[in-house]
Structure formats: structure tokens, C-alpha cells
Amino acid sequence: MILKIALLVTFVLLIGLGYFYFFQERFIFLQGKKLKRNYLFHFDTDFEEIFLATSDQQEINAIHLKLSNPKGVVLYFHGASGNLQKWGKRASYFLSDGYEVFCIDYRKYGKSTGNFSEAKMYDDALLAYSYLKKTFQEANIVIYGFSLGCTFATKVASENKPQALILEAPFYNLRKVVQYRFRFAPTFLLKYSFSSEKYIPMVTSPITIFHGDQDQTTSLAGARELFNCNKASTNEFIELSTATHHNISTFPQYKQKLKEILER
């Protein structure tokens, strides 16, 4: 009887581990509804829709929200959920301070094609930056990441010299995020690392990190650990009391500091 129970428990455990390994993308990438190629975006400002051609014959969908006389541009890497229609609405924070906004949808998100690949997604992020450098000087490009987007923002900043790197609710690496949210999750089965801690030491631009002390998605401790990987005196960590993962942008302290960064 004991042997049967042990075998049953082992079988159930193996099924669970197999499910986690083969379907982990469902928990990491919450891309939501796929958009048809002819879907029309709607924003309250002038914008251009762009498709970036990748080296592996895929297309990365992007929107460029424009101003008549911009100070510069913010390259925005969004979070794990939703697509450009959702995230484009965050542009108002930057447009009001004179910065255009360029945002991409990751592979399999929105209208973007291709399959999930950590290496390819980093390449796509670098491709977006290269595209902007055709029009803007690096001194006028701000790289911004939110949550999952922070790892792409950090990677791009580590290989370039933008005006600034801004990270909202970042994480140290994916393994620590999973451990924070699901204590007993089998992190050894993760196919993705998203190791921001490997890239942030190589960033030479000023870094600003915003994080809420009530964030239940990415830990405050992990964000501080990431911040401590780069000791430059120009860097700043801003902890927002009572802020969660999704409401940092509503805090006056955030708005004031963002304005200061964009007015430098």
C-alpha cells in the first residue's frame, strides 16, 4: 500500500514538473489577444506604426508616438501582459515633457511574429535602439523598462550610451522572481533566465530605479540587489511607500523625479 502511494505521488510530481517545463511560457509571457495585421491602433496623439525586420525573417511591431519638436525619444519596453494598444497609453507621461515614445511588442505579442526566445528577444530590443539611432543622437535617447521590460532595457543600455536608463519595478533575474512568488517552484526547470544582474554592471549611463514597498510581483529586495550591482554615483534608487507593482506611476514622487530626468 505504501509503495502504491509513493508511486502515485511520484507520478503526480513528475506530471507537475513536466507541465511546468513545457508550459512555462504561459506563466511568463501574458501576451493576451493576438492582433490581426490590419488592426488599427488608436491613440490621442500622432503616431506611426512600424514593422522592424529581424535577422531571422520575423517582424517586430512598433509604434512611434510623435511630437512636432521633440527634445528626444523614450525607448519603452513594456511589461509581460498586454500589447501596444495598452502600453501606448503610458506615453502621456513622456509626451508632456517633450519626449517622443517608441515602443515594441515582443515576439508573439500583438502583431509581432516569431516564437519566444530569450536571445532573440534581446536582439529585437537592440534592433529597436539601432532604428532610433538613425534619427536621434544617443544623448537624446532615454531607455525605459517596466517589469519584464527592465531586462531588455538594461541589456540595451549595457551595449550603448543613452541619456539615461529608467527601470520601474525591475527584478534581479527570473529565477528570483519565481522564488519570490512561488516559494517551492522548480526553478531549475526554467528555460529563461532574464539575468539583468549580468548586464547592469556594464551600464555607463545614469540609472534610476523606482520600486514600491508593497510590490507582490517583483521583490523590493531583488530590485535593491540589482541596483547594488552598479555603484556609479549618478545612480538613484527610489523606494515608494505603499506602492504596488502597477501603481508606481500614480505617485507624485515618481512624476516629479521623471520630470527631473527628462529635463536634464
pLDDT for res 11: 46
pTM: 0.93
pLDDT for res 135: 95
pLDDT for res 200: 98
Domain count of the fold of the chain: 1
Please report, for the domain that includes residue 56, its CATH number: 3.40.50.1820
Secondary structure, 3-state, 59-116: EEEEEEECCCCCCEEEEEECCCECCHHHHHHHHHHHHCCCEEEEEECCCCCCCCCCCC
User: What b/e readout covers 108-133, taking b as 16+ CB neighbours within 10 angstroms?
Assistant: bbbbbebebeeebbbebbebbbebbe
pLDDT for res 110: 95
pLDDT for res 6: 53
Secondary structure, 3-state, the chain: CHHHHHHHHHHHHHHHHHHHHHHCHHHHCECCCCCCCCCCCCCCCCEEEEEEECCCCCEEEEEEECCCCCCEEEEEECCCECCHHHHHHHHHHHHCCCEEEEEECCCCCCCCCCCCCHHHHHHHHHHHHHHHHCCCCHHHEEEEEECCHHHHHHHHHHCCCCCEEEEECCCCCHHHHHHHHCCCCCHHHCCCCCCHHHHHHHCCCCEEEEEECCCCCCCHHHHHHHHCCCCCCCCEEEEECCCCCCCHHHCHHHHHHHHHHHCC
Domain with 50, as residue range(s), is 2-262
10-residue mean pLDDT profile of the chain (264 residues): values are 57 52 72 88 93 98 96 97 88 93 97 96 98 97 98 99 98 93 77 96 98 97 98 96 96 96 89
